[in-house]
Structure 1
Amino acid sequence: MKINGNEIRPGNVIEHNGGLWVAVKTNHVKPGKGGAFNQVELKNAIDGTKLNERFRASETVERVRLEQKDFTYLYAQDDMLIFMNSETYDQLELSQDFVGDRAAFLKDGMTVTVELYEEKPIGISLPDQVTLEIAEADPVVKGQTQSSSYKPAVLENGIRILVPPFIGAGEKIIVDTNDITYVSRAN
């Protein structure tokens, strides 16, 4: 779908210079002399490189629609993660580098959303929150109860996190997967 250069918004995926780019920031500029333009910060959807481009209203760019499909995480094999399409039962292999640091939050049977462009995966999103068990937690130090101090703890997947002093080893907590922070105690 063709759109004018001044219609690009953050989050749009466009085809530019032979690649797929995600608009990160946009700034509409109307200089004193000359025509208005849209200053756009782009991030390559495949390799993550960044680019700043100016698009005039008269220019057109191809806006790309990404297909989003739900996949179920099955297991890890060497440095590959195996997912299954929830509808067709086709399997998809992604490298751990593709998922990044958040691969540690994957659990068997977890549903994730994979963004596809022409059947090629270019992005993955995990659930915003997951429930994990505390493997080890430091004991509470007396006298720290007046201030809202957090203590270090290690989750069952090996990730270190800060938790409130009342959380102990063996308890289940809810963790935000985006910024890897404690949300609340699980029921």
Structure 2
Amino acid sequence: MKINAGEIRVGMLLEYKNDLWLVLKTQHVKPGKGGAFAQVEMKSVGKNTKLNERFRSSETVEKASLEETNYNYLYDDEVNYIFMDPKTFEQIEIKKDIIGEKGELLTENLEVKVNFHNESPISVELPNQVKCKIETTDAALRGQTVSSSYKPATLDNGMNIQVPPFIDSGDEVIVDTRTLEYIKKI
């Protein structure tokens, strides 16, 4: 689907120069002399390279069409995460580097959205919040009542996050998968 350069937003996927690009930053500039343009910073989905490009407002770019499907997480091996379509029971493998560090938040039967481009998976969206258990955390210091004081904690999946002082080892908490931050205690 063709869109004007002025409609480019952060998070969009663009087809440009025979590659698929994720938009990281965009800035619309209207200089005093000359036409307006969009300064766009993009990252290649396949090659992991970055590109800064300047598009005139009158130019059009190809927005990538994605197919989104729900899958359930099953298990992982050395290089892949394995997911199953809950309707057809078909299993797919997705490389660990596509998901990145958020893969540690995957738990058995967790429902995720997998985005496909030309029949190949390019990204996995986890639910916004997941339940985790605190494996270890430091003891709270007496008198530390400032609301912004957080302490480090290790989750049962090995991830490190910051939690409020009243959280103890063994507590169950909700973690935001987008920012990898503590939300609340269960």
| Alpha-carbon distance in structure 2 between the residues aligned to 1:12 and 1:162 | 30
Greater alpha carbon shift after TM alignment, 32-41 vs 84-93: 32-41
Match of 2:139 in 1: 139
Secondary structure at the counterpart of residue 115 of structure 1:
strand
Structure 1 residues 2-21: aligned runs within 5 Å:
2-21=2-21
Spell out, residue by residue over 1:61-97, the C-alpha distance to the aligned partner (whole angstroms, 9 max, x if none): 2222211111100011223210012232211111222
Quote the offset at 1:4 in angstroms.
3.1
Stretches of structure 2 lacking an aligned partner (at least 5 in a row): none
Match of 2:60 in 1: 60
| Alpha-carbon distance in structure 1 between the residues aligned to 2:58 and 2:151 | 56
| Alpha-carbon distance in structure 2 between the residues aligned to 1:47 and 1:75 | 26
| Alpha-carbon distance in structure 2 between the residues aligned to 1:94 and 1:49 | 20
| Alpha-carbon distance in structure 2 between the residues aligned to 1:42 and 1:54 | 11
Match of 1:167 in 2: 167
Amino acid at match of 2:185: R
Stretches of structure 1 lacking an aligned partner (at least 5 in a row): none
Residues 34 and 169 (structure 1), Cα distance of their counterparts in 2 relative to 1, 3 Å cut: closer
State the structure with more CA Rg: 1
| Alpha-carbon distance in structure 1 between the residues aligned to 2:113 and 2:160 | 26
Match of 1:44 in 2: 44
**Would you say how many aligned residue pairs link Structure 1 and Structure 2?**
185
Quote the offset at 1:122 in angstroms.
0.9
Match of 2:23 in 1: 23
Secondary structure at the counterpart of residue 131 of structure 2:
strand
Secondary structure at the counterpart of residue 102 of structure 1:
helix
Residues 84 and 47 (structure 1), Cα distance of their counterparts in 2 relative to 1, 3 Å cut: same
Percent of pairs identical after alignment? Answer: 48
Spell out, residue by residue over 1:106-163, the C-alpha distance to the aligned partner (whole angstroms, 9 max, x if none): 100001111110111111111121111112222232232x323322222111222222
Amino acid at match of 1:110: L
| Alpha-carbon distance in structure 1 between the residues aligned to 2:179 and 2:7 | 31
Greater alpha carbon shift after TM alignment, 106-115 vs 59-68: 59-68
Quote the offset at 1:13 in angstroms.
2.0
Greater alpha carbon shift after TM alignment, 63-72 vs 40-49: 40-49
Residues 28 and 137 (structure 1), Cα distance of their counterparts in 2 relative to 1, 3 Å cut: closer
| Alpha-carbon distance in structure 1 between the residues aligned to 2:30 and 2:13 | 24
Q: Give the TM-score normalised by structure 1.
A: 0.88
Quote the offset at 1:57 in angstroms.
3.6
Greater alpha carbon shift after TM alignment, 49-58 vs 29-38: 29-38
| Alpha-carbon distance in structure 2 between the residues aligned to 1:152 and 1:106 | 21
Q: Give the TM-score normalised by structure 2.
A: 0.88
Residues 37 and 142 (structure 1), Cα distance of their counterparts in 2 relative to 1, 3 Å cut: closer
